Chains A and B, each alone.
Chain A
Amino acid sequence: MDQGMKMLLTGFDLLLALTLLWLAWQLLRSTDIFKAIIFFICFGLLMSLAWVRMHAPDVALAEAAIGTGLTGPLFLAALRRIERKAGKNMMSEPAGNGEETGSRWKARNREMSPLLWTVTALTCCLAGLLIWTVLIIPRPLPGLADQVAGSLAESGVNNPVTAVLLNFRGYDTLLEVMVLLLGAITVWSITHAPFPPRVPDTSPVQKAAVRLLLPLICLIGGYLVWQGAYQTGGAFQGGAVLSAALVLLLISDFLWLPGMRSLPLRLGLTLGPLVFVLLAGFGILVEKTLLRLPVEYAGPLLLFLEAACGLSIGLTLAAFFAGGRPASDLRETPYSGEAKGKGPAES
């Protein structure tokens, strides 16, 4: 029974790995961008399953929520913009010309053959190097797991992943949060949302479903942030779920972006990074070390930090999806693409 179960699981893992490779190949060779995005989403979902099989539920949750649940729609939104700009609909290409695109792909393939050979050779070198590295890793695996488990009591949380991410190696997470903020600033600097202006055409079924699901999504996002202290979860996963709620609001035309005030959004975007920097400064002043937290207050401080970061991450990811700052925020004429004269007429 035990032996059979083990074989079954090995077979499952093998199938999973092969499917992932096949999906990656299909994703790369697909000439239809829409199809490639769908492959990407499937790849991400199966990848998060692979993370679960590797006993890394935190990474699996992040992969499912951010890598797939949010990046996929982000790609779709980008494709939609490209299509609108190009003035044609690539999604609705007649099914009959798959043959033609295939041959075009082959033709281009033959043309850039030297480059292709170089890339293939380099990829093979990298793959060989990786395989070799995996083979020479000493067993048992060296790692810091024991040290983390030993000082878990000082961290203020019970989940070793959260302890490492927010306390022992808070520096890395601080930089990650800053990178997200930088991304949001870049998106806001480029254009205003929605870009290009879209026609509200929402199905009543969609509106009803969003009304039904929204409170639950917010609850789950908050729960994931709070749960980070005990088990799988945390600011990034909770934030991604919150941003999913915001994205649903955006695509169902509940939030009408041009009418939104930008100050609350700005405050929300910077709340997490701000709290992080304050905590870092607090560490320097009180504990004489950057980001070191006093042991007795570490738990509540980390929960506060995670809540602030979760909110900011959710807003940041939703800002990526919206693709620009609210139109009410404009002080100068935006880069408007083809949408001339459709800029923010209202105050």
Chain B
Amino acid sequence: MTIPEIIGLACIAAGIPFFLSGTIGMLRFPDIFTRLHALTKADNVGLGFLIIGLCLQTDDWFIVIKLVLIWVLVLTASSASCHLVARRALQKGIRPWTRE
């Protein structure tokens, strides 16, 4: 195993807790806004680590470009759709959860 491969594996391993916490947050958080927060933030960082890890596993620049493109596209799509879900929820009059 070469050093980049080990670093890549470490990056992928570092990404897993973010996916896990994102999933748990999605299931356990009290309202739609906090759930969105858990989902988008955690998934984006987790996916970032995953992409970096996968980039370090390959020698082909074309694949690296494709992987980074996937990350950028997911970032764009998930932040835009997160905004839209939250906007619609606010328009419908759903109040953000507060700790009484």
Which residues of A line the B interface, CB within 8 A? 92, 203, 205-206, 208-209, 212-213, 216
The interface bits of chain B over 64-85 (1 if a CB of A lies within 8 angstroms of the residue's CB, else 0) are 0000000001001100100110
**Apart from A203-B87, A206-B84, what are 7 other A-B pairs with CB-CB below 8 Å?**
A203-B84, A205-B80, A205-B83, A209-B76, A212-B76, A213-B76, A216-B73
Q: How many A-B residue pairs have CB under 8 A?
A: 19
Contacts of A213 in B (CB 8 A): 73, 76-77
Summarize A's interface: helix, strand, loop or mixed.
helix
Task: Answer yes or no: B92 CB below 8 A from chain A CBs.
Answer: yes
Minimal beta-carbon separation of B83 from chain A (angstroms): 5
**Residues on the A chain within 8 Å of B84, using CB:** 203, 205-206
Chain A neighbourhood of B83, CB < 8 A: 203, 205-206
- Nearest-neighbour CB distance to chain B for A92, whole angstroms, equals 6
Interface size class of B (residues with CB under 8 A): under 10
Q: How far is the CB of A245 from chain B (nearest CB, A)?
A: 14
Residues in A neighbouring B73, C-beta threshold 8 A: 213, 216
B92 x A209 contact (CB < 8 A):
no
Q: Which 9 pairs between the two chains have the least Cβ-Cβ distance?
A: A209-B80, A205-B83, A205-B80, A203-B87, A209-B76, A92-B92, A206-B84, A203-B84, A206-B80
A212 neighbours in B (Cβ, 8 Å): 76
Chain A residues closer than 8 Å to B76, beta-carbon distance? 209, 212-213
By a CB distance below 8 angstroms, the chain A residues around B80 are: 205-206, 208-209
Chain B residue contacts of A208, Cβ below 8 A: 80
Q: Please name all residues of chain B whose beta carbon is closer than 8 Å to the beta carbon of A203 when the two chains form the complex.
A: 83-84, 87
A residues less than 8 Å from B77 (CB atoms) = 209, 213
In the bound assembly, the distance between CA atoms of A206 and B76 in angstroms comes to: 10
**A122 to nearest B CB, angstroms?**
38
A204 to chain B, nearest CB (A): 10
- Chain B contacts for A205, CB-based, 8 A: 80, 83-84
Task: Give bound CA distance, A205 to B77, whole Å.
Answer: 11
Between A and B, 6 residue pairs with Cβ closer than 8 Å are: A205-B80, A205-B84, A206-B84, A208-B80, A212-B76, A213-B73
A212–B92 Cα gap in the complex (Å)?
28
Looking at the assembled complex, report how far the CB atom of A29 sits from the nearest CB atom of chain B, in whole angstroms. 21
Provide the residues of chain B in CB contact with A209, threshold 8 Å.
Answer: 76-77, 80
Docked CA distance A3–B77 (Å): 39
Q: How far is the CB of A202 from chain B (nearest CB, A)?
A: 10
- Bound-complex Cα distance A138 to B87 (A): 57
Name the residue on B nearest A216 (C-beta): B73
Measured CB to CB, the closest approach of chain A to B42, in angstroms, equals: 20
Q: Across the interface, name the chain B residue whose C-beta is closest to A205.
A: B83
**Which of A92, A205, A216: most chain B CB closer than 10 A?**
A205
Distance to closest chain A CB from B70 (angstroms): 12
Q: A209 to B92, alpha carbons, bound, how many Å?
A: 23
B82 to chain A, nearest CB (A): 10
Nearest chain-B residue to A202 (Cβ)? B84
Residues of B contacting A206 with CB < 8 Å? Answer: 80, 83-84
Cα A203 to Cα B86 with chains together (Å): 11
The distance in angstroms between the C-alpha atoms of A92 and B77, with both chains bound, is 24
Give complex CA distance A56, B2 in Å. Answer: 34
Inter-chain contacts of A216 with B (CB < 8 A)? 73
Interface string of B36-52 (1 = CB under 8 A from A): 00000000000000000
- CA–CA, A206 to B87, complex, Å? 11
| Residues of chain A contacted by B92 (CB below 8 angstroms) | 92
Q: How far is the CB of B57 from chain A (nearest CB, A)?
A: 17
Chain A minimum-CB-distance residue to B94: A92
B21 smallest CB distance to A (angstroms): 21
| Shortest Cβ distance from B83 into A: residue | A205
A103→B36 CA distance, assembly (Å): 31
Min CB gap A347→B, angstroms: 34
Mask for B9-29, Cβ within 8 A of A = 1, else 0? 000000000000000000000
Smallest distance from the beta carbon of A90 to chain B beta carbons, Å?
Answer: 13
Which residue of chain B has its CB nearest to the CB of A91?
Answer: B92
For the complex, give the distance between the alpha carbons of A205 and B87 in Å: 11
Q: Give the distance in Å from the alpha carbon of A203 to the alpha carbon of B73 in the complex.
A: 19
- CB contacts (< 8 Å) of B87 on chain A: these are 203
